[in-house]
A and B are shown apart, each in its own frame.
Chain A
Amino acid sequence: MYQFNYHRPSTLEEAVGLMSGAEDGVYLSGGMTLIPTLKQRLASPSDVIDLGAIPGLTGVTVNDGTVSVGGMTRHAEVAASDAIPALADLASRIGDAHVRNRGTIGGSLANSDPAADYPAAVVALCGTVHTTTRSIAASDYFTGLFETALHDGEIVTSVDFCMPDVAAYEKFPNPASRYAVVGVMVARCPGCICVGVTGAGACAFRAAAMEEALAADFSPGALDGVSVDHSEFNSDIHASAEFRGHLVGVLAKRAVARIA
């Protein structure tokens, strides 16, 4: 690791102040991505601002059909929550036990790894990302590969999810890392059916054609012949864009089969 100045603020205001005063600062949440990145010298921030000592940023609460998850809530805590079973199931399949004991939902969403699991839930459960300055709808939040609508210095404080009638998450995990080669969450809510896809493209998105097909007939068979355009999908040593496109269909059907 390169040298950096480590800070451990105890309030959000202090954290934001440290960031604005830093030459090239970075926030540290659970560190499950950032610390390996620092160790490989792929990043050389002047200041690392640890959000771990700021109170009030953890926990899962349910209020009027909305489930709110604090930005610093660790995957293990979401996995143990019974608020939205499909969200708990998703969280229980992130990485390994040690990653789930440290990694946080806010860190995952701020990083917007194309193969992260949480983004599928954020788009499928009509999520809202709350930050130190504003609230961002899921449809506006993910903007590209490791890119989000977050501004410099903005901190994810919590994420709201709509409580679905039923939902299920299916993923094809990379067998070594357990990142999602492709992951699909299907959610049936009062008034909408959402299909959230992660792993396939540069960032999470909703598969509109599948949502329309499922709105007419909520069964796995309704997705026969409904494909997604894979021309812009990720292609790497793990899977070609075409295979990822195929997986979206298979996983969406499996998810529907679990809850139809």
Chain B
Amino acid sequence: MEITLTVNGAAKAVDVPDNALLVDVLRESLGLTGTHVGCDTSQCGACVVHMNGDAVKSCTVLAGQADGADVTTIEGIGNPDDLHPMQEAFRDNHALQCGFCTPGMIMSAIDLVQKGGGALDEAAVRDGLEGNLCRCTGYHNIVKAVLAAQSSM
């Protein structure tokens, strides 16, 4: 089947099997491999992207459900010369070690801060990132980075 969607501001049309997942569309059809597949069981959050303004796990969204949607991936928020404030905060706070969880962490954190109304404290950030796992267990600096980005975003 063919689906059309907007990815990082650009209209895309892709032909995919009926049982394709959104993460397959992003990684395989569009080559956007910044979105990672970690657990593939909707637990780890490495695959988080924004769909119509909400953070979602793209390994648990069928491609068909994303037909017509506006999707933003880690590639769409900044670039090496002009990092997103959340990326900047992750760098400044040493909030990544191996980096595998980072794209999902950053996409979740941006959604969290955007909806948090500037009122997030440490507990709220930890609660908000419940669906993102870091196997390096680097949570402390991730939380610091999200709180720092709350001021800079």
Contact = CB atoms under 8 A, between A and B. Distances in A.
B19 A2 contact: yes
B17 interface: yes
A38 interface: yes
Interface stretch (B4-12, B50-58, B94-102, B142-150): B50-58
Interface in B112-144: 112, 128, 130-131
A63 to B, nearest CB: 27
Contact of A6 (B40, B60, B64, B130): B64
Nearest to A3: B19
Interface stretch (B27-35, B41-49, B73-81): B41-49
A76 B48 CA distance: 16
A159 B61 CA distance: 25
B70 interface: no
A52 interface: yes
A48 B21 CA distance: 13
B18 A98 contact: no
Contacts, number: 75
Given A35-B61, A101-B54, 20 more contacts: A2-B19, A3-B19, A4-B18, A6-B18, A8-B67, A28-B65, A48-B62, A50-B64, A97-B108, A97-B111, A97-B112, A97-B130, A98-B57, A99-B42, A101-B55, A101-B56, A102-B54, A102-B56, A102-B57, A102-B61
A29 to B, nearest CB: 10
Interface of A: 1-6, 8, 28, 31-32, 35-36, 38-40, 48, 50, 52, 76, 95-99, 101-102, 176, 178
B19 A1 contact: yes
Contacts of A95: 131
Nearest to B1: A6
Nearest to A176: B43
B73 to A, nearest CB: 15
Given A99-B42, A178-B130, A36 B60 contact: yes
Given A28-B62, A48-B62, A39 B18 contact: no
Contact of B64 (A8, A32, A36, A98): A8
Contacts of B19: 1-4, 6, 38
6 contacts: A31-B60, A35-B60, A38-B19, A39-B41, A50-B64, A102-B56
A260 to B, nearest CB: 26
A164 B121 CA distance: 31
A31 B62 contact: yes
Given A3-B18, A36-B41, A98 B131 contact: yes
Contacts of B45: 96, 98
Contact of A3 (B17, B67, B131): B17
Contacts of A5: 18
A98 B18 CA distance: 23
Given A76-B54, A97-B128, A98-B48, A35 B62 contact: yes
